[in-house]
Chain A
Amino acid sequence: MKSPSNDKYYSLFNQIADPIFIFDTENCRILDCNQAVTRIYGYKRDEICRMTFFDLHPASEQTRVKKAIKIVNKDIPFTFTHYKKSGVKLIVEILSNRIEYEGKQATVSIVRDVSDRVKIEKELERRATQFSLLYQIGQKVSSELDLGNLLQTIVVNIRDTFDYYGVMLLSLDSEKQTLSLQSIAGAYARIFPVNLTIKVGEGMIGQAALTQQTQLCYDTTLNPNYVKKAGEITRSELSVPIMKGEVVIGVLDFQSDLVNAFDESDVTAAETLSSQIAGAILNARLYEQAQKEIEERLKAEAELIKSRNSLRAAKRRTDNILENVAEGFFLLDNKFRISLEHSAALRDILEIKEPAQQHLPAVLQSMSADESTENIVDFLELMFKPTIEEETLTELNPLTEINVKIRKENELITKDKVLSFKFQRIFNDNEIIGLIATVVDISEKVRLARKLVESEEQAKLQMEWFMGILHVEPPLLKEFIDSANYELDQIETTFRTDRQELDLTEVLDSIYRSVHMIKGNASLLDLKFFANRAHAFEEKIEEVKKRETTSAKDFIPLVMQLNEMRKNIGEITKMIERISRIHTHFRPKRIYENQLLLNSLKNLIKSLSQDLNKQVTFEHQDFDPDQLPYEYRLLVKDLMVQMVRNSMSHGIESMAERKKRKKPVVGRIEIKNFSENGYFCFTYKDDGRGLHLKKLRETAENSGKWDKHEIAGWTDQQLAELIYQSGFSTFQKADLTAGRGVGMDIIKKKISSHQGQLMMNFDEGKFLEFTVKLPVNEN
């Protein structure tokens, strides 16, 4: 062993920190070592001295060692691997030299443990690789927008670079709280199912997601959190959550088949990667989103174009309708304004150039609608109140038929129109958002309806007439018509006469007389309606007469009446003709006709008796109608009718009065005829009041036509003759039974015109008798 004389070198030998070996150059048996060896390698000295130098090296290096031994490397160390007794690997650098040791050729090797250095170097190299990977990924991330591709690329790159057993990327479904596999790289990719799902909190990956913290497991066998998912042979695992701000969106997971494969730098790199990935995912998602949005926008645009086109088409159709429809269509808003959209017809109906935006009630008011604005506004307001039933309101629509006066712009004349409006509510949900309105010009319809009513009334009248005249024999009717036409001709002639020649009052009187005649004849024949017509004519004449000053214009209504009468006569004529055809076999006999005269008078008396509630008999035994000259038949009829009327209405007293006066209750009218030289004469007598002289006197005084004293000096006869004065009936009322006091003057005039005579005989309170003499023509 060691010589004690080398003590100082020996203690120096042992104090050197680096392990030193001395071994036999030939057989490489270790001859000696220093304390550093035992300290570092763990072998005891005697153990080491039993070993060869080769024993320290792994099998793989043996050849190299043999070669190296032969070389003396004093300056440049060789790097080799040594194993400690414990089996721990050492990376060593060896320097060797030849020495002489106890008479043998020996090598002394100084070993320097560079394991750490190598580790660090390796580490640095790894980091460099990591950085370059990160850089690469960074590049890729910024350029790859397809998320699927990107993730796969990342994962593959990581695995390849670091040669991990496996790398996978999972995304988090926050709703379901599960992580699902997105991309995977490595040999173990085949082991895991494609739809691998891990619950949040489950295993390393789940924990990473749950805690939002990096999970590192050095040795899977020692970690309770480790969960084997498939047949993987993972020994160490690194799981990093991928964060978007505060939110986990996924997990990046590294697995190695070696224990303790990941250190701090790996964790840092992984976390950096994870945030890059987060960024990438976000970008890719944003890109996806943007793509989607663009797609959607394009779709929406296409939809818009489609609907715009169909809207346009719809609008064309609506415009077409609005242009061509005959009714006025428009909408009303809750301020009752007419809409911009309305039919062309509306402008025509209202004769307004621009009805849009105008206030409907105001428009109607400006047209002098015959409906109060208040009503119209009330109605429209109620139409907008949903609580009130539309049906109830429709019945109260004040505009179903209104008269308006339309004045075209810049014109003075107004046109009368009748318009009809209809309204309907428009709903949106439960709100009334407007009214749809239609207006129609019904002026024509109304006019026609009125015409129809008129013509219906005409028809009714005709029927009445027809019924009314059925009882009258055609010849009598013919007579009536002839006489009526004659009188109407007279009236017309009067009208045509140069008025300056005549006093207007005279004219009126003359017309009156003619009409009166017609009335009388009508009454006689019981043509009630006709008599009423004539009566109405008379009233009109009276009206005109009452006026202070009469002008020619006042005759206008009278002319109208004349025309009316003519028309009526014409219609009766037509009717007669129809009836005549039925009665063609019937030949009028004078005798028969004259009988008819008496019958007519009888009927008249009877009818007046009923109306006036008086009982009167008609004595005519001494009147021979055959004696009555044909040309006087109308005249005599006329006279007698008037006389009968006067008798019935104011001659003969009421039954009560007669009783009071101790007269027979039944009154009496008697006619007789006789002949005188060249005259046909008849008398007419009633047993009534006669004439009331006192009243006549009073009337004369009140009329103002004569001086009171003059009147006082008159004889009874003179007073009596007052009844021939026009306007001199002592009775005010005018009705069908009597006249207005012009009957007698007509009679007198007519008789005079035929060169006849009229005489009167009376006893006040007892009777009144007329005698008429008419000259007879020898022909």
Chain B
Amino acid sequence: MNETDLHFFIDSTVNYFEEVTNEKATAGIPYIKDSEPVVLEYTGIIGISGKRKGSIYVTSTEEMLRTIAKLILGIEEVERGEIKDLVGEIANTISGNVRQAYGSDFMISVPVVVEGKARDIKLPNNIQSFVIPITWRDFKIFLVVCLE
């Protein structure tokens, strides 16, 4: 995984927020993930296969997801099921968009959503993982990319 990859992911994520919420998001400086877990309340995980294998996940707080869901649906009350669904959809969209840069040999799986802050997301330990912190409004959301 290199600088260019990071650029793609950052662009994809920032673009997502702009399109969906019509507000800007800013990326912080990415760093290499260590053993410390980077997990917030809801996590959407996408498996990558094809030429480059690995995983990508998006993790966020309930409050942030709720805010975004309300924006998308234009309603006041959002159910938990919808929040879980949303984090999966965000992960799915960001990963799918990155495909524009990698070509069709970059296959994404259906998202898996994990609840709870306690668990750490298992990532292959022979590949470096990068953490990209993104700030939208006052919320922080993390994109963790682990690719060959």
Contacts and interface: CB of A to CB of B under 8 A. Distances in A.
Q: Touch between A and B in complex, CB under 8 Å? A: yes
A733 B104 CA distance: 37
Nearest to A733: B34
A733 B33 CA distance: 10
Interface string B11-34: 000000000000000000100001
A532 B29 contact: yes
Contact of A372 (B29, B34, B103): B103
Nearest to B103: A372
A746 to B, nearest CB: 23
Interface in B97-116: 103-104
Nearest to B26: A460
Contacts of B34: 733
Contacts of B103: 372
Contacts of A532: 29
Contacts of A733: 34
Contacts of B29: 532
A470 B103 CA distance: 45
A733 B35 CA distance: 9
| A-B pairs with lowest CB-CB distance, top 4 | A733-B34, A532-B29, A372-B103, A372-B104
A532 B103 CA distance: 33
Interface string A497-541: 000000000000000000000000000000000001000000000
Kindly state the interface size class of chain A when it binds its partner: under 10
A733 B36 CA distance: 10
A604 B29 CA distance: 21
Nearest to B104: A372
Interface in A725-779: 733
B105 to A, nearest CB: 10
A532 B28 CA distance: 11
Interface in B101-138: 103-104
Nearest to B36: A733
A671 to B, nearest CB: 30
Interface string A345-374: 000000000000000000000000000100
A301 B104 CA distance: 60
Interface in B26-60: 29, 34
B29 to A, nearest CB: 6
4 contacts: A372-B103, A372-B104, A532-B29, A733-B34
Nearest to A533: B29
A733 B32 CA distance: 10
Contacts of A372: 103-104
B3 to A, nearest CB: 11
B34 to A, nearest CB: 5
A34 B104 CA distance: 138
Nearest to A736: B31
Interface string A366-386: 000000100000000000000
Interface string A397-433: 0000000000000000000000000000000000000
A372 B103 CA distance: 9
Nearest to B34: A733
A372 B102 CA distance: 11
A454 to B, nearest CB: 13
Nearest to A528: B29
A372 B34 CA distance: 37
Nearest to A374: B104
Contacts of B104: 372
A372 B104 CA distance: 10
A442 B104 CA distance: 26
A131 B73 CA distance: 111
A372 B100 CA distance: 12
A608 to B, nearest CB: 16
Interface in A164-190: none
Nearest to A372: B103
A635 B34 CA distance: 32
A470 to B, nearest CB: 19
A48 B34 CA distance: 168
A532 B29 CA distance: 8
A372 B29 CA distance: 33
A532 to B, nearest CB: 6
A368 B104 CA distance: 18
Nearest to B28: A532
B54 to A, nearest CB: 22
A532 B30 CA distance: 11
A532 B133 CA distance: 14
B43 to A, nearest CB: 21
Nearest to B31: A735
Nearest to B29: A532
B98 to A, nearest CB: 16
Interface string A24-54: 0000000000000000000000000000000
B41 to A, nearest CB: 18
A443 B34 CA distance: 40
A551 B29 CA distance: 30
A458 to B, nearest CB: 16
B106 to A, nearest CB: 13
Nearest to A536: B29
A592 B111 CA distance: 58
Interface string B81-108: 0000000000000000000000110000
A133 to B, nearest CB: 98
A736 to B, nearest CB: 10
A486 B103 CA distance: 48
A521 B29 CA distance: 20
A91 to B, nearest CB: 121
Nearest to A732: B34
A512 B29 CA distance: 21
A703 to B, nearest CB: 21
Nearest to A532: B29
A766 B110 CA distance: 52
B13 to A, nearest CB: 17
A465 to B, nearest CB: 15
B10 to A, nearest CB: 12
A61 to B, nearest CB: 128
B59 to A, nearest CB: 19
A319 B34 CA distance: 66
Nearest to A460: B26
A195 to B, nearest CB: 85
A327 B103 CA distance: 29
A532 B104 CA distance: 36
Interface in A63-116: none
B36 to A, nearest CB: 8
A346 B34 CA distance: 53
Nearest to A371: B103
A565 B108 CA distance: 40
Interface string A708-733: 00000000000000000000000001
A463 to B, nearest CB: 12
